[in-house]
Amino acid sequence: MEIYVIKGHKVICDEMSMGYVYHQEIAKKYLELGKIYTVKKTIVESSSTAVILQEIPDIEFNSTYFEDVEEQPEEDSKTHPDYPKYH
């Protein structure tokens, strides 16, 4: 998924076997494969990105578990608060 997505972006859960074991356990507890979710925000770090969903706002998920439903325009990505740190 595009890591610099803005609030309201739609993603689909298509994977739950990447990342550390605790990432996988959290994903299997809260997510459903094939289900579409709405991004509340992403937290971009130098080696990982956490995704917080509007449907499950108190849990951070590994970004590798999602694919974009639709591509976000690059202009929107540039408005993400973490974008300037890495560009």
Ordered by start, the domain boundaries in the chain are 10-86
Reported as a single tens digit per residue, the pLDDT across 15-27 is: 999 989 999 999 9
Q: DSSP characters for the chain? A: --TTPPTT-EEEE---SSS-HHHHHHHHHH--TT-EEEEEEEEE-SS-EEEEESSSTT-EEEGGGEEESSPPPHHHHTTSTTGGGG-
pLDDT of residue 41: 97
Q: Which residues pair with 36 in a beta bridge?
A: 12
Name the stretches of the chain with pLDDT < 50: none
pLDDT of residue 81: 96
pLDDT of residue 19: 87
pLDDT of residue 76: 96
